[in-house]
Structure formats: structure tokens, C-alpha cells
Amino acid sequence: MRDNHVRLPHGDRLRDVSPVLVAHGTRNPHGVNVIAEIAEAVGARIGLTRTAFVDVLGPTPSEVIADLDKPAVLVPAFLASGYHVRKDIPEHVALGGRTDTVVTRALGPDPSIAAVARLRLAEAGWEPGDAVVLAAAGSSDQSACGQVHLAARQLESLIGGRVEVGFITTAQPSVPEAIERARRTGRRVVVASYLLAPGLFHQRLETYGADAVAAPLGPDPRIVDLIVTRMRAAISPYRRTPVPRLV
């Protein structure tokens, strides 16, 4: 693989760690390929970047980090800090038995993600004046749901109009409810997918009756930049607040 040949400059702290991108997991082969594409793009920047999954398929984070010869830096490839970020990943780190593992912040919410979501909307045919629903996976963690609402506000700042929030599972309002609310405006309704890769959740969005559904965020260069930024921030010696080394 091309990322094996990256030579970071002397003194770059990423030389001393093993990057791991941790995603949810899906049975959709295209979704798995998208995560692999993102990891490969990150690897082309900073060196070999492995992937792990917390559900559906393997390898798990614990299996990956237990087999590394350097401390792992795990990046949760999640758009909000819900159950998988707060509970699953720390448990996997503990199971892996590596006390030198560092876990970064989750990817979202972030203005760069909002910029990619806007691009996906435009690719789906969105035009200024259309009603927009930001569709997210959903969580029983109210803090994670609040982060999705923040993501909607960030997207609003880029498209200049109200963005409704809908959840595909667990939380309320549901995506169909949010689409119905947006439909009352009398405008076309376009769904912005607050999802990183294709899978069952994105397939459901196509069945809810919106006029258009945007593609998942995917391997956009801004997503790659954000992952690298999360890693660098987590291992920076200049951090005022230490990143917990989850064990």
C-alpha cells in the first residue's frame, strides 16, 4: 500500500504512534469500502492507518491495538459522542490491555463536516430556498443528540436557511416527522445525510418521501484533514487539557 512509504519529518510525534480509525461497522460492502478509502487517504498523509469496528464486523479495536508495536491513537469515526464513543470504545481499549492507548475526540460536530454536508446537498440537487432536514443515526445520549442539533446550526450558517433535525432511530423527532414538518413550508424537502458512509441507515432515508436525499459524507479531503487534526491535537505536547488514556 502506498501509505507504507510515507516518511514523516524528524520530530513529528505521529512517527511514534499507530493511527487507528474506529468506525461502527456495516454489512454494506460499499460502506466498508468507504471507511477503507478514508483510512487509505489518511495513511497517504501520515503513514499506515488501520481500521477497526465496534459492531457488525471485525477487527475490533481491542484486537487491533493488542497487535501493535507502537502506542495506538484511536480516532472515533463518529459524528457525535454517543454510546459507542463513550462506552464501547473505552471498553475495547481496556480489553486490548494497552495502557498507552490514546483516544481522540469524535469527528463531529465540526464546521468542516458542515461544509462537506453542504456539498453533498448541492450534488443531490438542493437549491437555496429548499427545506432541509439533517438526518442522523440517533442516540439515547441526550448530549450526543444535542451535538447533532449543533451540526444543524453549523449547516444553517452555510446554506442560509432553517435546518430541521431528524433521527433515524432511538431519538426524536424521527426523520419522517422532520420531513413532514419541513413539508408544511410548501417547499421541496432535501435530506442532508449526517452519516459518514453508506449502510442500512442511509438506505432507510430513501424510503421516507423526501424530494431528494444527499449521499453520506464519504472520503472527502476535509474529512481526511479533520481526522489528522484530531490525531495531532490528541498527542500534542502543548495541550492544556490532557487527553485521557483510556484503560
Give percent above pLDDT 90 in the chain. 82
Low-confidence winner among 12-16, 214-218, 222-226 (lowest mean pLDDT): 12-16
Residues 11-32: what's their mean pLDDT? 92
Same domain, 24 and 92: yes
pLDDT at 190: 98
Same domain, 66 and 144: no
**CATH number of the domain that 115 lies in?**
3.40.50.1400
What does the pLDDT look like over 183-222, one tens digit per residue? 999 999 999 999 999 999 999 999 999 999 999 999 999 9
pLDDT at 239: 61
120 vs 10, which has greater pLDDT?
Answer: 120
pLDDT higher than threshold 50 for residue 247? no
Same domain, 103 and 127: no
Residues 159-163: what's their mean pLDDT? 95
Same domain, 151 and 209: yes
Secondary structure, 3-state, the chain: CHHHHCCCCCCCHHHHCEEEEEECCCCCHHHHHHHHHHHHHHHHHHCCCEEEECCCCCCCHHHHHHCCCCCEEEEECCCCCCHHHHHHHHHHHHHHCCCCCEECCCCCCCHHHHHHHHHHHHHCCCCCCCEEEEEECCCCCHHHHHHHHHHHHHHHHHHCCCEEEEECCCCCCEHHHHHHHHHCCCCCEEEEEECCCCCHHHHHHCCCCCCEECCCCCCCHHHHHHHHHHHHHHHCCCCCCCCCCCC
The tally of domains found in the chain comes to 2
Does the pTM surpass 0.85? The reply is yes
Query: Is residue 205 in some structural domain?
Result: yes
pLDDT at 1: 40
Domain that holds residue 44: 13-108+221-235
Residues 174-186: what's their mean pLDDT? 97
